[in-house]
Amino acid sequence: MRVELLSYLSTERLLEALKGLGLAYPTPERLLPHVSFTFSVEGISRACSHQLIRHRTASFTQQSQRFVKVKRLREHVVIPESVRERALQPYLEFIDKTGELYVKLLELGVPGEDARFVLPNATTTNLLVTMNGLALRHFFGLRCCLRAQWEIRNLADIMLLKVRSADPMLPTLGPYCHQLGYCPEGRFSCGRMTEVRKRYGELAANF
């Protein structure tokens, strides 16, 4: 996985613009709808990207499996650590057989838009992602949580570090227990709120 912050409109820049317009000095919280961040995300699985694009208030441009052909599938899959530890060989055998079938379908004249039906959720993809501050706050609230799936949680943590570095004036960001001071998951709570809040509190203190 590789994540790069391509561009952003920061709280500080907006505050400078507001001064020039003679507008009232708002809190950073009120500027969340106006700040924005654009990321390039490379090498995440389709399983991860399907979760990411559920955040509908964000804007996405995703690599096409219809027009971009996958060569050597084994080089373009994500391998979960649990699989790497317990079932790596059968996993790779399946990937190789699937890759061979995919190539065979293309050779037989099956259109790429149909041949892609056999590609697994593990297949990697690249995206361009743009979110404003409100969308990011909600995204981090859900996806930095320990209940989130590991791959999208890793993605959220990387994005959070880049956002914090670029715009330290932003209000509290991180999992909802860190934002709210309590866990909104009820009986589904991970039970580790103190540990999680400490971690993200220390992260925020570094910027």
pLDDT at 198 over 80: yes
On whether residue 68 sits in a domain, the answer given is no
Q: At 207, is the pLDDT very low, low, confident or very high (cuts 50, 70, 90)?
A: low
For residue 5, give both structure tokens.
């912050």
Domain count, the chain: 2
Q: Is the pLDDT of residue 35 over 80?
A: yes
Domain match, 199 and 162 both: yes
CB 143 within 8 A of CB 176: no
Residues 151 and 200 in one domain: yes
CA angle 102, 3, 161 (to 5 degrees): 145
pLDDT in tens, 7-29: 999 999 999 888 878 777 678 88
In a domain, 94, yes or no: yes
Q: What is the DSSP string of 109-134?
A: T--HHHHGGG--TTBEEEEEEEEEHH
CATH code for the domain of 14: 3.30.1360.170
The pTM score is 0.92
- Clarify whether residues 109 and 177 are in a common domain: no
Catalytic site residue from 143, 187, 192, 197? 143
Domain with 10 in it: 2-63+124-205
Same domain, 39 and 91: no
Q: Would you say residue 56 lies in a domain?
A: yes
Structural domain includes residue 136: yes
Predicted confidence at residue 22, as pLDDT, reads 75
45 in the same domain as 146: yes
Same domain, 15 and 39: yes
pLDDT at residue 110, rounded to an integer: 98
Q: Do 100 and 15 share a domain, yes or no?
A: no
Residues 22, 28, 29, 31: is their CA dihedral positive or negative?
positive
> What are the tens digits of pLDDT across the range 39-87?
999 999 999 999 999 999 999 999 999 999 998 999 999 999 999 999 9
pLDDT tens for 89-129 read 999 999 999 999 999 999 999 999 999 999 999 999 999 99
Buried/exposed code over 59-81 (b: 16+ C-beta within 10 A; e: otherwise): eeeeeebeeeebeebeebbbebe
SS3 153: helix
Is 143 catalytic? The answer is yes
Q: Which letter, b or e, does each residue of 26-40 get, where b requires 16 or more Cβ atoms within 10 Å of its Cβ?
A: eebeebbebbbbebe
Q: Are residues 78 and 133 in the same domain?
A: no
Burial 161-170 (b: 16+ CB within 10 A, else e): ebbbebbeeb
